[in-house]
Chains A and B, each alone.
Chain A
Amino acid sequence: MKLEELRFGTELLKRGFASMQKGGVIMDVVNAEQAKIAETAGAVAVMSLERVPSDIRKQGGVARMADPEKVREIIDAVSIPVMGKVRIGHFVEAQVLEVLGVDMIDESEVLTPADEEYHIDKKQFKIPFVCGARNLGEALRRINEGAAMIRTKGEAGTGNVVEAVRHMRAIMGEIRKVQGMDEQERISYARSIEAPAELVIECARRGRLPVVNFSAGGIATPSDAAMMMQLGADGVFVGSGIFKSSNPEKMAKAIVEAVNHFNDAKVIAQVSTGLGDAMPGLDVHTLRADEVLQTRGR
Protein backbone atom coordinates (compact mmCIF):
# COMPACT_ATOMS: atom_id res chain seq x y z
CA MET A 1 0.00 0.00 0.00
CA LYS A 2 1.07 3.60 -0.60
CA LEU A 3 1.23 5.83 2.41
CA GLU A 4 0.34 9.47 2.17
CA GLU A 5 2.23 12.00 4.21
CA LEU A 6 5.12 10.08 5.63
CA ARG A 7 6.82 12.43 8.04
CA PHE A 8 10.55 12.25 8.67
CA GLY A 9 12.80 14.01 11.17
CA THR A 10 10.04 15.14 13.54
CA GLU A 11 10.64 16.10 17.17
CA LEU A 12 8.81 12.93 18.26
CA LEU A 13 11.07 10.71 16.14
CA LYS A 14 14.17 12.46 17.45
CA ARG A 15 13.19 12.25 21.10
CA GLY A 16 11.81 8.73 20.55
CA PHE A 17 15.19 7.60 19.23
CA ALA A 18 16.82 8.98 22.38
CA SER A 19 14.27 7.13 24.55
CA MET A 20 15.29 3.83 22.95
CA GLN A 21 18.84 4.36 24.31
CA LYS A 22 17.67 4.53 27.94
CA GLY A 23 19.30 2.17 30.40
CA GLY A 24 22.15 1.73 27.96
CA VAL A 25 25.85 2.41 27.59
CA ILE A 26 27.13 4.35 24.56
CA MET A 27 30.82 3.76 23.91
CA ASP A 28 33.44 5.89 22.12
CA VAL A 29 35.14 3.99 19.28
CA VAL A 30 37.72 5.07 16.71
CA ASN A 31 37.53 2.10 14.31
CA ALA A 32 35.46 -0.91 13.23
CA GLU A 33 37.31 -3.33 15.47
CA GLN A 34 36.49 -1.31 18.59
CA ALA A 35 32.89 -0.89 17.41
CA LYS A 36 32.48 -4.67 17.21
CA ILE A 37 33.92 -5.12 20.70
CA ALA A 38 31.45 -2.52 22.01
CA GLU A 39 28.50 -4.18 20.28
CA THR A 40 29.43 -7.64 21.55
CA ALA A 41 29.73 -6.26 25.08
CA GLY A 42 26.14 -4.98 24.90
CA ALA A 43 26.57 -1.27 24.04
CA VAL A 44 23.29 0.30 22.85
CA ALA A 45 25.17 2.53 20.42
CA VAL A 46 28.70 3.57 19.52
CA MET A 47 30.12 7.08 19.19
CA SER A 48 32.53 7.43 16.30
CA LEU A 49 35.33 9.93 16.70
CA GLU A 50 38.83 10.64 15.43
CA ARG A 51 40.62 10.20 18.77
CA VAL A 52 39.29 9.39 22.24
CA PRO A 53 39.28 12.39 24.61
CA SER A 54 42.37 11.33 26.61
CA ASP A 55 44.39 11.22 23.37
CA ILE A 56 43.03 14.61 22.31
CA ARG A 57 44.29 15.93 25.65
CA LYS A 58 47.73 14.41 25.21
CA GLN A 59 48.25 15.23 21.54
CA GLY A 60 46.66 18.67 21.45
CA GLY A 61 45.95 20.42 18.14
CA VAL A 62 42.53 20.98 16.60
CA ALA A 63 40.18 18.04 17.19
CA ARG A 64 37.63 17.58 14.39
CA MET A 65 34.91 15.24 13.13
CA ALA A 66 36.20 11.74 12.27
CA ASP A 67 37.31 10.86 8.73
CA PRO A 68 34.18 9.83 6.71
CA GLU A 69 35.96 6.64 5.70
CA LYS A 70 36.28 5.66 9.38
CA VAL A 71 32.65 6.56 10.02
CA ARG A 72 31.49 4.38 7.09
CA GLU A 73 33.69 1.55 8.26
CA ILE A 74 32.09 1.72 11.72
CA ILE A 75 28.55 1.94 10.27
CA ASP A 76 29.22 -1.17 8.17
CA ALA A 77 30.68 -3.10 11.11
CA VAL A 78 27.77 -2.97 13.56
CA SER A 79 23.96 -3.21 13.62
CA ILE A 80 23.47 -0.90 16.63
CA PRO A 81 23.10 2.87 16.09
CA VAL A 82 26.23 4.83 15.24
CA MET A 83 26.62 8.36 16.57
CA GLY A 84 29.27 10.89 15.61
CA LYS A 85 30.87 13.92 17.21
CA VAL A 86 31.04 17.32 15.54
CA ARG A 87 32.60 20.57 16.74
CA ILE A 88 30.33 23.02 18.54
CA GLY A 89 28.74 25.26 15.92
CA HIS A 90 30.14 23.31 12.95
CA PHE A 91 26.92 22.76 11.04
CA VAL A 92 28.69 21.49 7.91
CA GLU A 93 30.41 18.68 9.81
CA ALA A 94 26.89 17.85 11.01
CA GLN A 95 25.53 17.91 7.43
CA VAL A 96 28.30 15.51 6.42
CA LEU A 97 27.55 13.06 9.22
CA GLU A 98 23.84 13.18 8.37
CA VAL A 99 24.58 12.29 4.74
CA LEU A 100 26.87 9.45 5.85
CA GLY A 101 23.91 7.91 7.71
CA VAL A 102 24.95 8.56 11.30
CA ASP A 103 21.94 8.06 13.62
CA MET A 104 22.63 10.84 16.13
CA ILE A 105 25.09 13.74 16.30
CA ASP A 106 26.95 14.80 19.43
CA GLU A 107 27.71 18.52 19.24
CA SER A 108 30.63 18.14 21.55
CA GLU A 109 32.90 20.31 23.66
CA VAL A 110 35.47 17.50 23.44
CA LEU A 111 36.30 18.68 19.92
CA THR A 112 37.70 22.15 19.26
CA PRO A 113 34.78 24.59 18.93
CA ALA A 114 34.18 26.01 15.45
CA ASP A 115 31.95 28.83 16.66
CA GLU A 116 32.37 30.54 20.02
CA GLU A 117 29.09 32.44 19.73
CA TYR A 118 26.48 30.03 18.37
CA HIS A 119 25.60 26.37 18.61
CA ILE A 120 24.22 24.50 15.59
CA ASP A 121 20.57 25.19 14.71
CA LYS A 122 19.64 21.58 15.32
CA LYS A 123 16.04 21.94 14.14
CA GLN A 124 17.35 22.12 10.54
CA PHE A 125 18.37 18.46 10.67
CA LYS A 126 16.43 15.23 10.19
CA ILE A 127 18.57 13.30 12.65
CA PRO A 128 18.63 13.98 16.39
CA PHE A 129 21.37 15.71 18.39
CA VAL A 130 22.79 15.17 21.87
CA CYS A 131 24.53 18.08 23.61
CA GLY A 132 26.53 18.48 26.80
CA ALA A 133 25.39 20.59 29.76
CA ARG A 134 26.74 21.54 33.18
CA ASN A 135 23.52 22.90 34.65
CA LEU A 136 19.81 23.35 33.97
CA GLY A 137 20.27 26.60 32.04
CA GLU A 138 22.70 25.05 29.56
CA ALA A 139 20.54 21.94 29.18
CA LEU A 140 17.41 23.97 28.41
CA ARG A 141 19.22 26.30 25.99
CA ARG A 142 20.39 23.24 24.04
CA ILE A 143 16.88 21.70 24.09
CA ASN A 144 15.52 25.01 22.86
CA GLU A 145 17.99 24.83 19.94
CA GLY A 146 16.62 21.38 19.11
CA ALA A 147 18.70 18.91 21.12
CA ALA A 148 16.75 15.64 21.57
CA MET A 149 19.01 14.37 24.33
CA ILE A 150 21.26 15.90 26.99
CA ARG A 151 24.36 14.53 28.64
CA THR A 152 26.42 15.95 31.45
CA LYS A 153 29.66 17.42 30.17
CA GLY A 154 31.79 16.16 33.03
CA GLU A 155 35.46 16.55 32.18
CA ALA A 156 36.19 14.22 29.27
CA GLY A 157 39.42 12.26 29.00
CA THR A 158 40.30 12.52 32.68
CA GLY A 159 38.91 9.22 33.98
CA ASN A 160 37.75 11.34 36.90
CA VAL A 161 34.03 11.27 37.57
CA VAL A 162 33.94 14.32 39.86
CA GLU A 163 32.76 16.81 37.22
CA ALA A 164 30.06 14.49 35.85
CA VAL A 165 28.78 14.15 39.42
CA ARG A 166 28.85 17.91 39.89
CA HIS A 167 26.87 18.48 36.68
CA MET A 168 24.30 15.75 37.33
CA ARG A 169 23.73 17.00 40.86
CA ALA A 170 23.40 20.55 39.55
CA ILE A 171 20.75 19.61 36.97
CA MET A 172 18.75 17.36 39.31
CA GLY A 173 19.05 19.85 42.16
CA GLU A 174 17.83 22.76 40.05
CA ILE A 175 14.84 20.70 38.87
CA ARG A 176 13.93 19.94 42.50
CA LYS A 177 14.32 23.63 43.26
CA VAL A 178 11.92 24.78 40.51
CA GLN A 179 9.42 22.12 41.58
CA GLY A 180 9.09 23.99 44.86
CA MET A 181 8.46 27.35 43.17
CA ASP A 182 5.26 29.04 42.11
CA GLU A 183 4.71 30.16 38.51
CA GLN A 184 6.07 33.70 39.00
CA GLU A 185 9.20 32.43 40.72
CA ARG A 186 9.76 29.92 37.89
CA ILE A 187 9.58 32.67 35.27
CA SER A 188 12.01 34.82 37.22
CA TYR A 189 14.32 31.83 37.76
CA ALA A 190 14.20 31.04 34.03
CA ARG A 191 15.44 34.57 33.32
CA SER A 192 18.27 34.20 35.81
CA ILE A 193 19.52 30.96 34.24
CA GLU A 194 18.95 32.30 30.68
CA ALA A 195 16.51 29.54 29.77
CA PRO A 196 13.03 29.69 28.17
CA ALA A 197 10.35 29.95 30.86
CA GLU A 198 8.11 27.30 29.26
CA LEU A 199 10.91 24.73 29.46
CA VAL A 200 11.58 25.55 33.13
CA ILE A 201 7.85 25.13 33.82
CA GLU A 202 7.82 21.80 31.94
CA CYS A 203 10.76 20.52 34.04
CA ALA A 204 8.94 21.51 37.21
CA ARG A 205 5.76 19.74 36.11
CA ARG A 206 7.51 16.52 35.04
CA GLY A 207 10.22 16.49 37.70
CA ARG A 208 12.83 15.83 35.04
CA LEU A 209 14.26 17.24 31.81
CA PRO A 210 11.85 17.06 28.86
CA VAL A 211 14.37 14.84 27.02
CA VAL A 212 16.51 11.84 27.93
CA ASN A 213 19.44 12.78 30.18
CA PHE A 214 22.63 10.71 30.09
CA SER A 215 25.87 11.13 31.97
CA ALA A 216 29.29 11.57 30.36
CA GLY A 217 32.76 12.91 30.99
CA GLY A 218 35.08 10.95 33.27
CA ILE A 219 33.28 7.62 33.76
CA ALA A 220 36.02 4.98 34.06
CA THR A 221 34.70 2.09 36.18
CA PRO A 222 31.49 0.08 36.71
CA SER A 223 31.00 1.86 40.04
CA ASP A 224 31.31 5.27 38.35
CA ALA A 225 28.62 4.27 35.85
CA ALA A 226 26.28 2.89 38.53
CA MET A 227 26.74 6.00 40.67
CA MET A 228 25.67 8.23 37.77
CA MET A 229 22.58 6.03 37.31
CA GLN A 230 21.73 6.27 41.02
CA LEU A 231 22.09 10.05 40.77
CA GLY A 232 19.35 10.02 38.12
CA ALA A 233 21.03 9.49 34.73
CA ASP A 234 18.98 7.64 32.09
CA GLY A 235 22.17 5.97 30.79
CA VAL A 236 25.87 6.66 30.33
CA PHE A 237 28.45 7.53 27.71
CA VAL A 238 31.90 6.05 28.25
CA GLY A 239 34.71 7.69 26.31
CA SER A 240 38.32 6.83 27.00
CA GLY A 241 37.25 4.61 29.92
CA ILE A 242 36.86 1.46 27.83
CA PHE A 243 39.63 1.43 25.25
CA LYS A 244 42.23 3.04 27.54
CA SER A 245 41.72 0.37 30.20
CA SER A 246 43.95 -2.72 30.27
CA ASN A 247 41.15 -5.11 29.23
CA PRO A 248 38.57 -3.28 27.06
CA GLU A 249 36.32 -6.32 26.38
CA LYS A 250 35.97 -7.05 30.06
CA MET A 251 35.60 -3.40 31.09
CA ALA A 252 32.91 -2.83 28.44
CA LYS A 253 30.86 -5.83 29.59
CA ALA A 254 31.30 -4.90 33.24
CA ILE A 255 30.06 -1.34 32.69
CA VAL A 256 27.01 -2.62 30.76
CA GLU A 257 26.19 -4.98 33.66
CA ALA A 258 26.72 -2.26 36.24
CA VAL A 259 24.31 0.08 34.44
CA ASN A 260 21.76 -2.72 34.14
CA HIS A 261 22.00 -3.47 37.89
CA PHE A 262 22.88 0.00 39.10
CA ASN A 263 21.05 -0.48 42.40
CA ASP A 264 22.60 -3.85 43.20
CA ALA A 265 25.99 -3.47 44.91
CA LYS A 266 26.51 -7.25 44.89
CA VAL A 267 26.44 -7.34 41.10
CA ILE A 268 28.68 -4.27 40.89
CA ALA A 269 31.18 -5.88 43.26
CA GLN A 270 31.16 -9.04 41.17
CA VAL A 271 31.62 -7.35 37.79
CA SER A 272 34.33 -5.04 39.18
CA THR A 273 36.47 -7.99 40.23
CA GLY A 274 39.59 -8.81 38.19
CA LEU A 275 39.09 -6.11 35.57
CA GLY A 276 42.74 -5.12 35.38
CA ASP A 277 43.65 -1.44 35.33
CA ALA A 278 41.11 1.28 34.66
CA MET A 279 42.32 4.12 32.44
CA PRO A 280 44.98 6.32 34.08
CA GLY A 281 43.21 9.23 35.76
CA LEU A 282 43.85 12.96 35.95
CA ASP A 283 43.19 15.27 38.87
CA VAL A 284 40.97 17.95 37.34
CA HIS A 285 42.39 20.53 39.75
CA THR A 286 45.76 20.29 38.03
CA LEU A 287 44.31 21.24 34.63
CA ARG A 288 45.17 24.70 33.25
CA ALA A 289 42.19 26.84 32.31
CA ASP A 290 42.86 26.20 28.60
CA GLU A 291 42.86 22.43 29.22
CA VAL A 292 39.36 22.43 30.71
CA LEU A 293 36.86 21.25 28.06
CA GLN A 294 33.58 21.77 29.93
CA THR A 295 33.71 25.58 29.65
CA ARG A 296 33.44 25.37 25.85
CA GLY A 297 30.03 26.37 24.53
CA ARG A 298 27.74 27.67 27.23
Chain B
Amino acid sequence: MDVKIGVLALQGDVSEHIDAFAAALAACGCEKGSSVVEIRSPGDLDGCAALALPGGESTTISRLIDKNGLYEPIRTFKGGIFATCAGMVLMATHVADPRVHSLGLMDMTVDRNAFGRQKESFEADIPVTGIDGGPFHAIFIRAPVVTAAGTGVRVLAKLDQGVVATERGRYMALAFHPELGGDFRLHERFLKNLGI
Protein backbone atom coordinates (compact mmCIF):
# COMPACT_ATOMS: atom_id res chain seq x y z
CA MET B 1 0.00 0.00 0.00
CA ASP B 2 1.36 3.42 -0.94
CA VAL B 3 0.82 5.74 1.98
CA LYS B 4 1.91 9.35 2.22
CA ILE B 5 2.16 10.88 5.67
CA GLY B 6 2.91 14.54 6.32
CA VAL B 7 4.66 16.03 9.33
CA LEU B 8 3.95 19.69 10.04
CA ALA B 9 7.46 21.14 9.68
CA LEU B 10 7.13 24.67 11.07
CA GLN B 11 8.93 24.13 14.37
CA GLY B 12 9.65 21.31 16.83
CA ASP B 13 10.84 17.71 16.74
CA VAL B 14 9.99 17.19 13.07
CA SER B 15 12.77 14.76 12.10
CA GLU B 16 11.93 12.51 15.08
CA HIS B 17 8.31 12.29 13.85
CA ILE B 18 9.46 11.50 10.32
CA ASP B 19 11.72 8.69 11.57
CA ALA B 20 9.00 7.32 13.88
CA PHE B 21 6.37 7.18 11.13
CA ALA B 22 8.84 5.58 8.75
CA ALA B 23 9.45 2.89 11.40
CA ALA B 24 5.72 2.46 12.08
CA LEU B 25 4.96 2.10 8.36
CA ALA B 26 7.65 -0.57 8.15
CA ALA B 27 6.11 -2.37 11.14
CA CYS B 28 2.73 -2.34 9.34
CA GLY B 29 4.42 -3.84 6.30
CA CYS B 30 3.65 -0.92 4.02
CA GLU B 31 6.97 0.92 3.79
CA LYS B 32 7.25 0.09 0.09
CA GLY B 33 6.08 3.02 -2.03
CA SER B 34 5.17 4.95 1.12
CA SER B 35 6.68 8.26 2.13
CA VAL B 36 6.82 10.67 5.04
CA VAL B 37 7.08 14.29 3.94
CA GLU B 38 7.44 17.74 5.51
CA ILE B 39 4.40 20.04 5.41
CA ARG B 40 5.26 23.72 5.19
CA SER B 41 2.45 25.11 3.02
CA PRO B 42 -1.16 24.06 2.21
CA GLY B 43 -0.24 22.41 -1.12
CA ASP B 44 2.05 19.95 0.68
CA LEU B 45 -1.03 18.28 2.20
CA ASP B 46 -2.22 17.00 -1.19
CA GLY B 47 -2.39 13.22 -1.22
CA CYS B 48 -1.52 12.79 2.46
CA ALA B 49 -3.41 10.08 4.35
CA ALA B 50 -2.36 11.54 7.68
CA LEU B 51 -0.71 14.55 9.27
CA ALA B 52 1.49 14.62 12.39
CA LEU B 53 1.50 17.72 14.59
CA PRO B 54 4.86 17.51 16.38
CA GLY B 55 6.05 18.59 19.79
CA GLY B 56 7.52 22.06 20.07
CA GLU B 57 6.25 25.37 21.37
CA SER B 58 2.49 25.61 20.86
CA THR B 59 2.55 29.43 20.87
CA THR B 60 5.20 29.46 18.12
CA ILE B 61 3.63 26.69 16.02
CA SER B 62 0.17 28.26 16.35
CA ARG B 63 1.51 31.60 15.15
CA LEU B 64 3.27 29.97 12.20
CA ILE B 65 0.17 27.94 11.23
CA ASP B 66 -1.74 31.23 10.90
CA LYS B 67 1.13 33.00 9.17
CA ASN B 68 1.57 30.23 6.58
CA GLY B 69 -2.13 30.00 5.73
CA LEU B 70 -2.39 26.47 7.15
CA TYR B 71 -5.18 27.02 9.69
CA GLU B 72 -8.18 26.27 7.48
CA PRO B 73 -6.39 23.63 5.35
CA ILE B 74 -5.55 21.65 8.51
CA ARG B 75 -9.04 22.12 9.95
CA THR B 76 -10.61 20.76 6.78
CA PHE B 77 -7.95 18.09 6.16
CA LYS B 78 -9.72 14.79 5.46
CA GLY B 79 -6.99 12.45 6.67
CA GLY B 80 -5.96 11.36 10.15
CA ILE B 81 -4.12 13.65 12.58
CA PHE B 82 -1.55 12.36 15.06
CA ALA B 83 -0.70 15.05 17.60
CA THR B 84 1.88 15.01 20.39
CA CYS B 85 2.43 17.52 23.22
CA ALA B 86 2.18 20.95 21.53
CA GLY B 87 0.15 19.14 18.87
CA MET B 88 -2.37 18.02 21.52
CA VAL B 89 -2.75 21.63 22.65
CA LEU B 90 -3.45 22.65 19.04
CA MET B 91 -6.12 19.95 18.57
CA ALA B 92 -8.26 21.12 21.51
CA THR B 93 -11.40 23.21 21.34
CA HIS B 94 -10.48 24.98 24.58
CA VAL B 95 -7.01 26.08 25.67
CA ALA B 96 -6.75 28.04 28.88
CA ASP B 97 -4.29 30.46 27.27
CA PRO B 98 -5.12 33.19 24.74
CA ARG B 99 -1.61 32.97 23.28
CA VAL B 100 -2.58 29.78 21.43
CA HIS B 101 -5.03 29.85 18.50
CA SER B 102 -6.01 26.18 18.60
CA LEU B 103 -7.53 24.26 15.71
CA GLY B 104 -10.51 23.08 17.79
CA LEU B 105 -10.74 19.66 16.16
CA MET B 106 -11.31 17.63 19.35
CA ASP B 107 -13.85 18.63 21.98
CA MET B 108 -11.54 18.91 24.99
CA THR B 109 -10.01 21.45 27.34
CA VAL B 110 -6.24 21.44 27.57
CA ASP B 111 -4.01 22.95 30.23
CA ARG B 112 -0.51 23.80 28.95
CA ASN B 113 2.62 22.87 30.96
CA ALA B 114 0.34 21.14 33.47
CA PHE B 115 3.11 19.25 35.26
CA GLY B 116 5.33 22.29 35.68
CA ARG B 117 8.64 23.35 34.23
CA GLN B 118 11.45 21.27 32.70
CA LYS B 119 12.73 20.01 36.07
CA GLU B 120 9.31 18.38 36.54
CA SER B 121 9.47 16.65 33.13
CA PHE B 122 9.49 12.87 33.57
CA GLU B 123 9.51 9.41 32.06
CA ALA B 124 7.14 6.71 33.30
CA ASP B 125 5.54 3.44 32.26
CA ILE B 126 1.82 4.14 31.96
CA PRO B 127 -1.12 1.90 31.09
CA VAL B 128 -2.70 2.87 27.74
CA THR B 129 -6.01 1.49 26.48
CA GLY B 130 -6.06 -0.01 23.02
CA ILE B 131 -2.53 -1.38 22.69
CA ASP B 132 -1.21 -4.84 23.50
CA GLY B 133 2.08 -5.69 25.13
CA GLY B 134 1.93 -3.96 28.52
CA PRO B 135 2.48 -0.40 29.74
CA PHE B 136 3.77 2.29 27.42
CA HIS B 137 7.02 4.05 28.25
CA ALA B 138 5.90 7.67 28.04
CA ILE B 139 8.15 10.73 27.89
CA PHE B 140 6.54 13.90 29.26
CA ILE B 141 8.36 17.16 28.49
CA ARG B 142 6.68 20.31 29.88
CA ALA B 143 3.58 18.35 28.98
CA PRO B 144 -0.05 19.44 28.78
CA VAL B 145 -3.05 17.51 30.14
CA VAL B 146 -6.67 17.30 29.12
CA THR B 147 -8.78 18.57 32.02
CA ALA B 148 -12.13 17.88 30.34
CA ALA B 149 -12.88 15.52 27.45
CA GLY B 150 -16.16 16.19 25.66
CA THR B 151 -18.42 14.50 23.16
CA GLY B 152 -16.94 11.62 21.26
CA VAL B 153 -13.46 11.97 22.73
CA ARG B 154 -12.23 8.62 24.00
CA VAL B 155 -9.74 8.59 26.88
CA LEU B 156 -6.82 6.21 26.31
CA ALA B 157 -4.69 7.11 29.34
CA LYS B 158 -5.15 9.11 32.52
CA LEU B 159 -2.85 10.21 35.35
CA ASP B 160 -3.68 12.06 38.59
CA GLN B 161 -3.18 15.40 36.86
CA GLY B 162 -5.57 14.58 34.04
CA VAL B 163 -6.00 12.78 30.75
CA VAL B 164 -2.82 12.30 28.70
CA ALA B 165 -3.98 10.31 25.67
CA THR B 166 -7.17 10.74 23.65
CA GLU B 167 -8.65 9.56 20.41
CA ARG B 168 -11.59 10.50 18.26
CA GLY B 169 -12.10 8.61 15.01
CA ARG B 170 -9.17 9.49 12.77
CA TYR B 171 -7.58 11.79 15.38
CA MET B 172 -5.17 10.85 18.18
CA ALA B 173 -3.73 13.36 20.66
CA LEU B 174 -1.02 12.52 23.20
CA ALA B 175 0.52 14.66 25.96
CA PHE B 176 3.76 12.68 25.76
CA HIS B 177 6.29 11.91 23.01
CA PRO B 178 6.08 8.40 21.49
CA GLU B 179 8.35 9.68 18.68
CA LEU B 180 11.28 9.89 21.12
CA GLY B 181 11.05 6.50 22.81
CA GLY B 182 11.39 3.90 20.07
CA ASP B 183 8.01 2.26 20.90
CA PHE B 184 5.67 2.76 17.94
CA ARG B 185 2.58 0.85 19.13
CA LEU B 186 0.50 4.04 19.29
CA HIS B 187 1.60 5.02 15.78
CA GLU B 188 0.56 1.57 14.61
CA ARG B 189 -2.83 1.85 16.33
CA PHE B 190 -3.33 5.24 14.70
CA LEU B 191 -2.50 3.82 11.26
CA LYS B 192 -4.81 0.86 11.87
CA ASN B 193 -7.65 3.26 12.79
CA LEU B 194 -7.17 4.78 9.33
CA GLY B 195 -7.34 1.37 7.69
CA ILE B 196 -3.62 1.34 6.88
Contacts and interface: CB of A to CB of B under 8 A. Distances in A.
Contacts of B124: 3, 5-7
Contacts, number: 126
A81 B12 CA distance: 13
A66 to B, nearest CB: 17
Given A8-B121, A13-B122, A17-B121, A24 B139 contact: no
A54 B178 CA distance: 42
A126 B10 CA distance: 29
Interface in A215-265: 256-257, 260-261
B142 A24 contact: no
Contact of A42 (B40, B60, B121, B181): B60
Contact of B9 (A6, A23, A104): A23
A109 interface: no
A125 B158 CA distance: 29
A13 B127 CA distance: 20
A16 B180 contact: yes
B10 A20 contact: no
A126 B56 contact: no
B60 A6 contact: no
A8 B117 contact: no
Contact of A81 (B14, B85, B118, B158): B118
A24 B113 contact: no
B11 A10 contact: no
Given A7-B122, A44-B60, A17 B10 contact: no
B122 A22 contact: no
A4 B12 CA distance: 29
B183 interface: no
A292 to B, nearest CB: 32
A80 B16 contact: no
A101 B10 contact: no
A79 interface: yes
14 contacts: A1-B160, A6-B122, A8-B122, A16-B141, A17-B142, A20-B56, A20-B141, A22-B56, A23-B56, A24-B56, A39-B59, A42-B64, A103-B118, A260-B67
Interface of A: 1-10, 12-13, 16-17, 19-24, 39, 42-45, 75, 79-81, 98, 101-104, 126-128, 256-257, 260-261
Given A13-B123, A101-B116, 11 more contacts: A1-B160, A5-B125, A16-B121, A17-B118, A45-B57, A79-B97, A98-B119, A103-B118, A126-B119, A256-B60, A260-B68
